[in-house]
Amino acid sequence: MRKQNFQWTEMTMGVCYYPEHWDRSLWREDLRRMKEAGISVVRVAEFAWNKVEPEEGKFTYTFFDEFLDICLEEKMSVIFGTPTATPPAWLTEKYPEVLNCREDGTAYRHGGRRHYNYNSVKYQKMAGRIVEKLASHYGKHPAIVGWQVDNELNCETYEYHSKADTEAFRGFLKEKYGTLDALNEAWGTTFWNQTYTAWEQIYVPRPVLNDGYNPHMYLDYDRFISESTIRFCRMQAEIIRKYKKTGDFITTNGMFWNIDNHKMAEECLDIYTYDSYPSFAFGLDRDPKNARDLNDRHVSKNLTEVRSICPHFGIMEQQSGANGWVTRMAGPAPRPGQMRLWAMQSVAHGADYISFFRWRTCTFGTEIYWHGILDYDNRDNRKLLEVKEFYRDFKKLDGLCGAEYAASFGVLKDFDNVWDTNIDEIHRIVNGTSEEEIFKVSQLTHTPYNLVYLREESTLEDLVSYPVLFYPHPVIMTEKRAELLKEYVIQGGTLVIGCRSGYKQENGKCVMMPQPGLLRVLTGSDVKEFSFTHGMEEPVWADWNGKHMEMPVFNDIMEIAEESCENTKLLASYGNSFYSGKAALIEKKTGKGRTLHLGSTFSRQNMELLLDYLGVKEPFRQLVEAPEGVELAMRRKEGREYLFVLNYQFEPQKIVLKKTMRSVFRETDVCGEVEIPIFGAEVFEVPVTK
């Protein structure tokens, strides 16, 4: 999001509330109890279509009129959600064409949520009408401060297989390719005799034997889903914008698959929000053997993604109790301290708004085990106390509102490559491994990073603030992107790429060029052969000036490209396997900068060597010594720096502060050894050095 149209000016706490789930007699008391706890915003209405249009074309506003007026009296602000994630039964029954379908064409039926499709003209009209009615009626209500479009676009499913989707897909392709000949060429349909001779022969993906899908078709399908989602969001945002008060924001709560969230945020929203449920990591359905490293701390990876979309984001749903639908996802109750820790995790990564999900656990429906702050019995409890404690500390961070997250290096991504991993298994394995390992090394060595998405409109300005950029596996490379990377390197940047870079063009077809294709001029590397490393006698490694370096998962077996000899250095060579002695890491200087090509995926061990070599490892080492078990993060504003220390461990952790710093929560100066309690979260204000 280049320009975030809305930003909170002070740390703000909210909660998700469903007036339609409770007797009216509870509303006022609920709002008062919320206010007492520090909650000043409620998000409402995002599934309540029937409360406004109980029958087709019959609109009634009394329910939310009454609720909003009470909010106004109680000085509670409101984020109003559009209800399009849950079309009413009367609608889907009368117009079944609005339903989304499974791949085999069977429609999803009323009863769950998100069972509609974006491309049904009927649904666009019905959704547009309810949004228009809501926005025109409530748009000027003084209690409202913001609007949420739909709920979690592309959650539950991110694939669409209805008739309307097929028809719209054909339109999308006609516009993109103009002729069937061009489409056949782009999709390589001569392979397996897939050639299309009429547009009517083309469908959104349908079941094919043994998953033998055409990958080039799939890439376009993912682009099409993203465009359809964004169009649906834009349609609603444009309607709301006509009626909302100046200063009220439009948001949606993400972040799900098959959407270019950056484009959506930029074109439709004023601010982006995220739903954070760290305790998924401890769910009963998680096989401990397959548990992802770092458990609840792993959410920091998602928060890094969110920050790349919108630097000063909000959390629309912050976990406040055990999770679980009646049918799945059962999880444990947050231990004492964990709710506060998880909320601080969001703040450390850039959130200035924390809204807990939900005020009270629902006593009926699929989510009776998705617990809120209050339990069914409605008594004050430990969780409410923890929310109050969080609020007390959160307000001490008011000065940080809008502060930047301090990143040591950047990691580049782009949506062509993100989507290619949906269908290309090799790309998925290679990229998935590196993404996880880069995150892990960043966490464990306390070397924070930002994600930077390369988009159509990206310019050098978006890159230059990072001295080092990793672009782990840009399998798809375009001339435009290669040119931008060149500019970045020439002006003094360091670019690092991994194996399998640059071997596809934008339709996902392989290029008939030596790898890394268009990047070869920057890397000075020439990939002669390549292979997965599994099946090798022993783990593959390379020798980097006497240091042993892991070369896991997949190897580019390289030489220095003939034309590049002059400015190019061989940094490391393979130490074993049939390619022992071949180049494993090559560095080439171009202009004031350099490019490194590592012939494998990134791992904790080789990343540590690289970060060290590039001089960006552990940027806080002058300030603090911290064990791996805590996360360190820093937010900076107007020359002031705040260091977050988050302890996710089930035991206390000791850190050593190397300077006297102000503990923001304890309101004392501290130095030397400090114990961070179990699930503790501390913030220290770093003294300004003149």
Looking at beta carbons only, is 152 or 270 nearer to ligand GAL? 152
Q: Which is nearer to ligand GAL, 320 or 568 (CB)?
A: 320
Span 249-288, contacts to ligand GAL by CB under 6 A? 275
Q: Minimal distance in Å, beta carbon 33 to ligand GAL?
A: 21
Report in angstroms how near the CB of residue 357 gets to ligand GAL at its nearest: 6
Binder among 220, 248, 260, 317 for ligand GAL (CB under 6 A):
317
Smaller CB separation from ligand GAL, 151 or 564? 151
Dig out the tokens for 578 from the structure. Answer: 């049939």
Q: Minimum Å distance from CB 278 to ligand GAL?
A: 13
Evaluate whether 607 touches 438 at the Cβ level (below 8 Å).
Answer: yes
Which residue in 478, 398, 467 sits closest to 9, CA to CA? 398
Order of strands across the sheet that contains 353-357: 249-251, 144-148, 77-81, 41-44, 12-16, 353-357, 314-319, 273-276, 253-254
Site for ligand GAL (CB under 6 A): which residue of 108, 172, 370, 419?
370
Is there binding between residue 20 and ligand GAL (CB under 6 A)? no
Q: Which is nearer to ligand GAL, 275 or 682 (CB)?
A: 275
Residues 6+ apart with CB under 8 A from 303: 274, 276, 345, 346, 349, 350, 351
**Nearer to ligand GAL among residue 370 and residue 503 (C-beta):** 370
- Are β-strands 583-590 and 593-598 bridged in parallel, bridged antiparallel, or unpaired? antiparallel
What is the nearest approach in angstroms of ligand GAL to the Cβ of residue 125? 25
Minimum Å gap between C-beta 317 and ligand GAL is: 6
Rounded least distance, CB 315 to ligand GAL, Å: 12
CA 667 to chain centre: 34
Find the residue with minimal CB distance to ligand GAL: 370
Identify which of residues 172 and 370 has a Cβ nearer to ligand GAL in the complex.
370
* Cβ pair 312, 306 in contact under 8 A: no
Task: For the segment 347-366, give every residue that binds ligand GAL (CB under 6 A).
Answer: 357
Give yes or no for a contact between 184 and 190, defined as CB atoms under 8 angstroms apart: yes
> In whole angstroms, how close is the CB of 371 to ligand GAL at the nearest point?
10
Cβ closer to ligand GAL: 331 or 680?
A: 331
Dihedrals φ, ψ of 172, to 5°?
-60, -40
For 258: left if phi > 0, alpha if psi spans -120 to 50, otherwise beta; the answer is left
Which tokens go with 185? 């060429």
Active site residue 317: yes
Shortest gap between Cβ of 613 and ligand GAL (angstroms)?
Answer: 41
Label each residue of 78-99 as H, E or C.
EEEECCCCCCCHHHHHHCHHHE
What is the nearest approach in angstroms of ligand GAL to the Cβ of residue 562?
54
Per CB under 6 A, contacts with ligand GAL among 447-466 are: none
Q: Which is nearer to ligand GAL, 152 or 587 (CB)?
A: 152
Least CB distance to ligand GAL at residue 99 (A): 20
Q: Among the options 46, 53, 159, 317, which is catalytic?
A: 317
Burial 538-555 (b: 16+ CB within 10 A, else e): eebbbbbeeeebbbbbbb
Contacts with ligand GAL in 152-211 (CB under 6 A)? 152, 155
Backbone angles phi, psi at 529, to 5 degrees: -150, 170
Question: Which one, 53 or 317, has the nearer CB to ligand GAL?
Answer: 317
CB of residue 155 to ligand GAL, shortest distance in Å: 6
Distance from C-alpha of 315 to C-alpha of 313, rounded to nearest angstrom = 7
Q: What are the helix (H) ranges across 286-380?
A: 299-309, 338-348
Q: Which of 10, 167, 367, 375 is in the footprint of ligand GAL by CB under 6 A?
A: 367
To ligand GAL, the closest distance from the beta carbon of 273 in angstroms equals 11
- Smallest distance, ligand GAL to C-beta of residue 316, A: 8
Beta-strand pair 541-544/568-574: antiparallel
**657-667 exposure pattern, b = at least 16 Cβ within 10 A, e = fewer:** beeebebbbee
Note whether 159 and 108 are within 8 A (CB): no
Q: How many residues bind ligand GAL (CB under 6 A)?
A: 8
Give the nearer residue to ligand GAL in terms of CB position, either 165 or 317: 317
Span 58-117, contacts to ligand GAL by CB under 6 A: none
Residue-level length of the chain? 690
What is the β-pairing status of strands 624-625 and 249-251? unpaired
Cβ-Cβ contacts under 8 Å for 40 (sequence gap 6 or more): 12, 13, 14, 75, 76, 77
Whether 537 is catalytic is no
SS (H, E, C) 450-487: EEEECCCCCCHHHCCCCCEEEECCCCECCHHHHHHHHH
Instruction: Give the DSSP H/E element, type plus range, for residue 581.
Output: none
**432 Cβ neighbours under 8 A, 6+ residues apart:** 421
Indicate the residue among 151 and 533 with the shorter CB distance to ligand GAL.
Answer: 151
Site for ligand GAL in 589-648 (CB under 6 A): none
User: Quick one: which of 255, 256, 189, 243 has its CA closest to 216?
Assistant: 189
CA end-to-end span of the chain, whole Å?
Answer: 33
| Cβ-proximal residues to 680 (8 Å cutoff; 6+ apart), any chain | 337, 341, 645, 646, 647, 652, 653
113 vs 528, beta carbon nearer ligand GAL: 113
Sole residue written with tokens 């988009």: 455
Nearer to ligand GAL by C-beta: 168 or 329? 329
Scanning residues 114 to 153, which ones bind ligand GAL (CB under 6 A)? Answer: 151-152
Among residues 53, 152, 436, 437, the one annotated as catalytic is 152
CB 328 within 8 A of CB 316: no
> Alpha-carbon distance 591 to 492, whole Å?
7
Q: Where would I find the H helices in 148-214?
A: 163-177, 180-187
Residues engaged in binding ligand GAL (CB under 6 A): 151-152, 155, 275, 317, 357, 367, 370
Q: Which residues are catalytic?
A: 152, 317
